[in-house]
Amino acid sequence: MPDEPAADDARATGQAILRVDLDALAENWRRLADRAEGAECAAVVKADAYGLGIAPVARALLEEGCETFFVAHLSEGEILRQIAPEARIFVLNGLAPEACPLFVASRLIPVLGSLPEISEWADFCREEGALHPAAIHIDTGMNRLGLGMSDLRRASDLMTAFSPVLAMSHFISAEDMSAPRNRLQIERFEQACAELPPMPASLCNSSGMFLEEAPFLDLCRPGYALYGGNPTPGNDNPMRRVIDLSTNVLQVRDVAAGETAGYNARWTAPSRRRLATINLGYADGFLRSGAEGPLGVDVFAAGHYCPVVGRISMDLAIVDISETAPLKRGDRVEVLGPQISIDELAAQSGTIGYEILTRLGPRFRREYVRSAENIARQDDIEASSSSE
């Protein structure tokens, strides 16, 4: 038994660590819920809660008071149902042919986005003699999912066979506050809702909630901002940081001017340089395209930004540590954290923070951090629910 922590420490120092601050996550949800001016604040937890892990994320959000969740796939909804027996769960990608019984079995609410989906749900509900709930997705410009304006009349007729509980649409570019499309989409959505039976409405994703005169309506659907991504690009991030990703140095070496590093010799040492090989590669979501981009990716170690040099390989990357204090085997470097935000790494990698999050790899040691106060609260909740 006394050996165990030591063995565990050894494993931890030799591994990339993803630390998820569940208090910060819960506080981000609370901030967004407060911002929503009385509208309900749901949580979007698709793609394994944007890569952070759906079970711990959903539990922390439930404890904070979140009652409504959105996933993309039926299978994600089935997993979430095990974690959140009472929650309202919407499935954004809608209804696959013949999937109706599966939705009902797990009490999942499909977001119906086309006439065929709506009529299949209506037929099923008629056969069952039950007004099962569904949401209606209206297309206001994305041309991806959702009913067009010309479908609304026919859809309304079918809606008498089930219980339409939410009308929703999705912004194309809410992160660009000056985009005239935002207003256009709001107007189209209002017009569409006027043609449907009365029901609660939802339009805002994270960035939508930060638009001037944000259309909170009845329900908001933030995802990215919950996880600490900046919903207001170009401005200070109003959210708390939720994740830290660090990894360890495997080796340090000095190379002479003219030596190259990594596959295909894509980098040549301009002078004598000191390089560290770090325990992270593209299989961990450290995107290979990053080191190829115009900016180049940095990690942060011992007070300095250290550029990645050469190609990122599957399990490894090489960083130039010539400018930093001596680093040695086993030392840790920051990949995401106080010095490097999700949005910064994304910009350096030529992508968006959403992709950085959802590519977070399966090989990290994951540490979920919850303060004693919140753990105590969780115990209270469990005690009171088991005494009921």
Binding site for ligand PLP (CB under 6 A): 44, 46, 92, 170, 205-207, 221-225
CB of 183 to ligand PLP, least distance (A): 18
Is 263 annotated in the active site? yes
Our CB check for ligand PLP shows the closer of 112 and 276 to be 112
Our CB check for ligand PLP shows the closer of 135 and 249 to be 135
CB of 92 to ligand PLP, least distance (A): 5
The residue nearest ligand PLP at its CB is 223
Our CB check for ligand PLP shows the closer of 206 and 348 to be 206
State yes or no: 199 annotated in a binding site. no
CB of 146 to ligand PLP, least distance (A): 9
CB of 275 to ligand PLP, least distance (A): 37
Question: What 3 state SS string does the chain have?
Answer: CCHHHHHHHHHHHCCCEEEEEHHHHHHHHHHHHHHCCCCEECEECHHHHHCCCHHHHHHHHHHHCCCEEEECCHHHHHHHHHHCCCCEEEECCCCCCCCHHHHHHCCCEEEECCHHHHHHHHHHHHHHCCCCEEEEEECCCCCCCCECHHHHHHHHHHHHHCEEEEEECCCCCCCCCCCHHHHHHHHHHHHHHHHCCCCCEECCCCHHHHCCCCCCCCEECCCHHHHCCCCCCCCCCCCCCCEEEEEEEEEEEEECCCCEECHHHCEECCCCEEEEEECCCHHHCCCHHHHHCCCCCEEEECCEEEEEECCCCCCCEEEECCCCCCCCCCCEEEEECCCCCHHHHHHHCCCCHHHHHHCCCCCCEEEEECCHHHHHHHHHHHHHHHHC
CB of 166 to ligand PLP, least distance (A): 11
State yes or no: 273 annotated in a binding site. no
Which listed residue (50, 224, 227, 263) is catalytic? Answer: 263
Which listed residue (46, 50, 282, 354) is catalytic? Answer: 46
Our CB check for ligand PLP shows the closer of 32 and 152 to be 32
Annotated binding site for substrate: 144, 314
Q: Residues with catalytic annotation?
A: 46, 263
